Chains A and B, each alone.
Chain A
Amino acid sequence: MKQVIATEPSSSAPPGGADGSTVRPSRSFAWRAMLRYGVFGVFVIMIATFGVLRTQDFLQLDTLKEILVNASVLAVVASGLTLVLAIGEFDLSFGSVAGFAGAVVVYMMYKAGLPLVPALAVALVAGLVAGLANGVIVAYGKVPALIATLAVGSVAEGVERWIFNDETIYEGIPHSFLSITNTSVFGFQMIVPISIVVVIALCLICSFTTFGRRVFATGGSEEAARIAGIRTRRVRTVTFILMGLGAGIAGILLMSQASSYYPNSGTGLLLPAYAACFLGWSAAGADRFYPAYTYFGVLFIGTLSTGLIMLQVASWVTDVVQGVVLVSAVLVARAARTS
């Protein structure tokens, strides 16, 4: 079957020229600047608003610490998701995989009686296997990521429920496991540096490794990358594996933070993670996905949700606001690109 060929800039169009869309006479500088840097503007306005509404305690170091702690798990999954988006795929399973990995680590300590480090290793392997499954099914089985990751997510969730039968587990969790996240480092809970290390590692992978180059090459045009000699199926698979590992780490952090196992711990991660990736993408000029940009998105989402909690609004408000903010940011970024 013939494919409708995507619109390409025609060969004789000059650099920076129209991408085929209607170009309006250039708007004022202020308007363009507002579109381009609008996400940052909203970020500042948001902080200022919370600062005014909660004069007594918002603009304080403790709030920053709380935001960073609350956003840590999100930062880990969102930076993994960034790579998946950069390669032109997506993943709907990482929330379930995080929950599954959390169940695995607690089970290994509580039921199987493994020491901390082996238990952590088994949980990471669990995340890795889920990512591998996603990658192989998508890259080699040519199943659309929507179906493949939904299915793998469903399996992961099923296995999680089989392990603990929807019960919450408080006992049998060693103190060392809790200290992974709770130990204080320079006044911050350990979970904050852990998440930042993950983000930095992924930034380094993106910018300074052959693998990172292959990811962006494949994301830009798979066919061209393949013909240039890049093993694109392998690159995709490895990307999904990294996402799975990220989900595994997130699951461990969630359990450690809660000092217990509770069911469906990862399900709330899905929307905020996508929101963080796209907020970062928008803030960077709708150009490309990059873990550091995503971390800005994570801070945005973290500030928003923490601020709303401090204002003691109903929790559904957070969901609504997150959805609206996400769509607005992407719309503004698109507008900025075409103006």
Chain B
Amino acid sequence: MSEGAKSGGVTLTGIQKSFGGAPALVDGRLTISPGGVHGLVGPNGAGKSTLAAIASGILQPDAGTIEVRGESLQFRGVPDALAAGIVAMPQELTVVPELSVAENITIGREPSRRGLLSQRASRAVAAKVLERMRVDLPLKAPVADLEPASQRVVMLARSLHTGAHTLILDEPTAALDSSQAEVFLRVVESLRGAGVSVVYISHRFGEVVRLCDDVTILRDGRTVDVLDRKRNTEAALVAAVVGEGALDDHVRAERSAPRRDRPVLTVRGLAGARLRGVDFSIGEGEILGVCGLPGSGVDDLMEMVSGCQAPVRGEIVVDGRAVRFGEPAQALARGISYLPAERARAGMLDLPIRSNLVASSLGKVDRAGWLTARAERRFVNDVLTELGLAQRVEHNLRTLSGGNRQKVLLSRCLLADSRLIVLDDPTVGVDVGARRDIHEMLVRIAAEGRSLLVSASEPEELVSIADRVLVLSRGEVGAEIDSAEISPESVVRAVTTSGAPRAAATAG
């Protein structure tokens, strides 16, 4: 197919799809008019990804029609959708780090002469694609050397190189922090001039408002509304997704003040990796937020405190005693639990929910090394009942929605009787409603006297729960914002002024 020439409207109507009897889509509708960016928004489990997978031929609908430029089509697989000009960019990073930018863009469709690859032709083709996107990337550089946003841009260029006129982007910025997301968003904006239509799925409403010409709202497997440009505001999106009135995200509920005079954890001169000496302490029942630009060392701090990474210098004091953690198990023994942001890879165990809950408390449930499913069920029963998941105790944790997965993992920390829970981006990949639930849960945990160390890639998140926010800058504490002064403005200002932002790799 010739580059970008054909642009066409795509219409999905009455799409139905069930998995093993559970309906994922009941009445999915999506109109992708030629050109422009079209938002697709809804809570987790609303069927966004399923609809996207059907539009791009990954899944086949049980009922419904797909029309491309007025012609009714049936996609038996991805190649059919591709032939019709529709391609989905995967949510996961699928670049080959060792290969160059040009090789990654042309991978699978390398220009070849008599079966021999031509590096030069490859680069020429890649350069043309990037030109269409108005992006400048070093063609010969290995993708591993690029910043995260640019790696996504390479994936985008690869999708464009297929000759598709419709690109489906499923949460392309989910794994990016705000500054990196910004870099990626600019590229998506510049696609408008390239004659392609974009379907943009995201939980980040700010992005959706900024990018999208219209927004399709999915709820419970149905398309319930399509917002045009005028109605596309953040408040309208929140209202449409939640399906009720405005949302009060501020959940600093009534609770006794945290006992800063009784520190649970004290860190002195902590250094190693990107950290260059960090001091702070967390009191009993305190929610301490940590944020900073990428490279400021937030990740390293979380990993060192939770025993995932050993500090080079400095000390960690728990209950007045200096500790050294060789692995997370040792931190856990001192009452410190860790929940990473990448829950799919590093949070969930590929086991039933009950085993996930018990994993950090095996020593409490077993009898001389013997462990039965019954003992596990007894141990987790109350917690699961409270979460409303008692019926699903034997289901694999992966079958739950993002919000429920996080609730289960948080409950695991509670069952382990941790006094300090270290949380990376606690609501990443979680829909708006569940996000509020989780915030409430965190505040309730703190009210019980446990302490929380919470990092967030979106500083606004900390505003709604933290008692105090530390802003890291170049491996040191750049600013400390106390309860009274916490506001979205103060936090964002502290983050963005405390360290020089990284130079963006995309230009022009």
Residue of B nearest to A231 (CB): B329
Residue of B nearest to A229 (CB): B332
Question: 1/0 contact trace for A1-22 toward B, CB 8 Å?
Answer: 1111111111111111110101
Task: Find chain B residues with CB under 8 A from A217 CB.
Answer: 349, 351, 355, 359
Say yes or no: A14-B345 contact (C-beta < 8 A), given A4-B96, A209-B371. no
Those of B452-471 within 8 Å (CB) of chain A: none
Question: 1/0 contact trace for B70-91 toward A, CB 8 Å?
Answer: 0000001110000000000011
Those of B355-391 within 8 Å (CB) of chain A: 355-356, 358-360, 362-363, 365-366, 369-372
A15 CA to B91 CA, complexed, in Å: 18
B305 to chain A, nearest CB (A): 13
Of the candidates B22, B48, B340, B366, the one whose C-beta lies within 8 Å of that of A210 is B366
Of the candidates B19, B60, B143, B360, the one whose C-beta lies within 8 Å of that of A14 is B19
Question: Are A14 and B50 in contact, CB atoms less than 8 angstroms apart?
Answer: yes
Task: Find chain B residues with CB under 8 A from A6 CB.
Answer: 92, 345
Q: Does B412 contact A (CB under 8 A)?
A: yes
How many residues on A have C-beta within 8 angstroms of the other chain's C-beta atoms? 44
Of the candidates A11, A15, A221, the one whose C-beta lies within 8 Å of that of B22 is A15
Question: Are A213 and B399 in contact, CB atoms less than 8 angstroms apart?
Answer: no
Say yes or no: A17-B24 contact (C-beta < 8 A), given A10-B91, A216-B351. yes
Residue of B nearest to A19 (CB): B398
A15 CA to B24 CA, complexed, in Å: 9
Of the candidates B24, B94, B170, B416, the one whose C-beta lies within 8 Å of that of A229 is B416
Of the candidates B90, B327, B348, the one whose C-beta lies within 8 Å of that of A221 is B348
Question: Are B96 and A210 in contact, CB atoms less than 8 angstroms apart?
Answer: no
Question: Are A23 and B59 in contact, CB atoms less than 8 angstroms apart?
Answer: yes
A5 CA to B94 CA, complexed, in Å: 7
B148 to chain A, nearest CB (A): 8
Q: Does B115 contact A (CB under 8 A)?
A: no
A233 CA to B327 CA, complexed, in Å: 10
Task: Find chain B residues with CB under 8 A from A8 CB.
Answer: 92, 344-345
Of the candidates B90, B349, B366, the one whose C-beta lies within 8 Å of that of A209 is B366
Do most interface residues of chain A lie in helix, strand or loop, or is the interface mixed? loop
Q: Does B395 contact A (CB under 8 A)?
A: yes
B302 to chain A, nearest CB (A): 11
A228 CA to B355 CA, complexed, in Å: 11
A83 to chain B, nearest CB (A): 15
Task: Find chain A residues with CB under 8 A from B504 CB.
Answer: none
Question: 1/0 contact trace for B399-424 toward A, CB 8 Å?
Answer: 10110010000001000100000000
Of the candidates A4, A213, A225, A228, the one whose C-beta lies within 8 Å of that of B94 is A4
Say yes or no: A20-B346 contact (C-beta < 8 A), given A5-B92, A11-B44. no
A251 CA to B349 CA, complexed, in Å: 36
A274 to chain B, nearest CB (A): 22
Task: Find chain B residues with CB under 8 A from A216 CB.
Answer: 351, 355
Question: Are A220 and B349 in contact, CB atoms less than 8 angstroms apart?
Answer: yes
B344 to chain A, nearest CB (A): 4
Say yes or no: A209-B92 contact (C-beta < 8 A), given A1-B97, A14-B45, A229-B329. no
A227 CA to B402 CA, complexed, in Å: 19
A169 CA to B77 CA, complexed, in Å: 64
Question: Are B45 and A12 in contact, CB atoms less than 8 angstroms apart?
Answer: yes
Question: Are A228 and B412 in contact, CB atoms less than 8 angstroms apart?
Answer: yes
Q: Does B350 contact A (CB under 8 A)?
A: yes
A8 CA to B174 CA, complexed, in Å: 14
Q: Does B46 contact A (CB under 8 A)?
A: yes
A22 CA to B60 CA, complexed, in Å: 9
A301 CA to B347 CA, complexed, in Å: 39
Question: Are B349 and A225 in contact, CB atoms less than 8 angstroms apart?
Answer: yes
A224 CA to B77 CA, complexed, in Å: 33
Residue of B nearest to A9 (CB): B398
Q: Does B49 contact A (CB under 8 A)?
A: yes
Interface contact tally, CB-CB below 8 A: 159
Say yes or no: A18-B355 contact (C-beta < 8 A), given A12-B46, A225-B349. no
Question: Are B363 and A221 in contact, CB atoms less than 8 angstroms apart?
Answer: no
Residue of A nearest to B48 (CB): A12
Question: Are B47 and A12 in contact, CB atoms less than 8 angstroms apart?
Answer: yes
Say yes or no: A226-B78 contact (C-beta < 8 A), given A11-B402, A12-B50, A25-B60. no
Residue of A nearest to B332 (CB): A229
Q: Does A208 contact B (CB under 8 A)?
A: yes
Residue of B nearest to A205 (CB): B369
Task: Find chain A residues with CB under 8 A from B402 CB.
Answer: 11-12
Task: Find chain B residues with CB under 8 A from A24 CB.
Answer: 60, 76
Residue of B nearest to A219 (CB): B350
Task: Find chain B residues with CB under 8 A from A224 CB.
Answer: 345-349
Task: Find chain A residues with CB under 8 A from B346 CB.
Answer: 221, 223-224, 227
Q: Does A236 contact B (CB under 8 A)?
A: no
A20 to chain B, nearest CB (A): 7
Of the candidates A17, A23, A208, A223, the one whose C-beta lies within 8 Å of that of B372 is A208
Q: Does B151 contact A (CB under 8 A)?
A: yes
Q: Does B20 contact A (CB under 8 A)?
A: yes
A224 to chain B, nearest CB (A): 5
Task: Find chain B residues with CB under 8 A from A233 CB.
Answer: 327
A222 to chain B, nearest CB (A): 9
Say yes or no: A12-B44 contact (C-beta < 8 A), given A208-B370, A223-B346, A227-B308. yes
A15 CA to B20 CA, complexed, in Å: 8
Q: Does A36 contact B (CB under 8 A)?
A: no
Which residue of B20, B46, B90, B351 has the most chain A CB atoms within 10 A of its CB atom? B351
Question: 1/0 contact trace for A189-219 toward B, CB 8 Å?
Answer: 0000000000000000000111111101100
Residue of B nearest to A22 (CB): B77
Q: Does B58 contact A (CB under 8 A)?
A: yes
A162 to chain B, nearest CB (A): 38
Say yes or no: A2-B151 contact (C-beta < 8 A), given A22-B78, A227-B340, A229-B416. yes
Question: 1/0 contact trace for A217-261 toward B, CB 8 Å?
Answer: 100110111111111010000000000000000000000000000
Task: Find chain A residues with CB under 8 A from B359 CB.
Answer: 213, 217, 225, 228-230
Q: Does B95 contact A (CB under 8 A)?
A: yes
Question: Are A13 and B340 in contact, CB atoms less than 8 angstroms apart?
Answer: no
Those of B80-133 within 8 Å (CB) of chain A: 90-97
B274 to chain A, nearest CB (A): 17
Q: Does B328 contact A (CB under 8 A)?
A: yes
Q: Does B338 contact A (CB under 8 A)?
A: yes
Task: Find chain A residues with CB under 8 A from B45 CB.
Answer: 12, 14
Q: Does B429 contact A (CB under 8 A)?
A: yes
Residue of A nearest to B361 (CB): A229
A8 CA to B50 CA, complexed, in Å: 14
A234 CA to B59 CA, complexed, in Å: 42
A217 CA to B340 CA, complexed, in Å: 17
Those of B319-360 within 8 Å (CB) of chain A: 327-329, 332-333, 337-340, 344-351, 355-356, 358-360
A230 CA to B361 CA, complexed, in Å: 10
Question: Are B94 and A16 in contact, CB atoms less than 8 angstroms apart?
Answer: no
Question: Are B370 and A213 in contact, CB atoms less than 8 angstroms apart?
Answer: no
A29 to chain B, nearest CB (A): 14
Of the candidates A15, A22, A230, the one whose C-beta lies within 8 Å of that of B19 is A15
Task: Name 28 A/B residue pairs within 8 A (Cβ), A-sorted.
Answer: A1-B97, A4-B92, A6-B92, A8-B344, A11-B44, A11-B401, A11-B429, A12-B45, A12-B401, A14-B19, A14-B50, A15-B395, A23-B59, A23-B60, A24-B76, A25-B60, A208-B370, A209-B366, A209-B370, A216-B355, A217-B349, A227-B347, A228-B356, A228-B360, A228-B412, A229-B333, A230-B359, A230-B362
Starting from the known contacts A1-B144, A5-B94, A213-B371, 10 additional A-B residue pairs (CB-CB under 8 Å) come to A11-B405, A16-B19, A17-B19, A209-B369, A210-B369, A221-B348, A223-B345, A224-B346, A227-B339, A229-B359
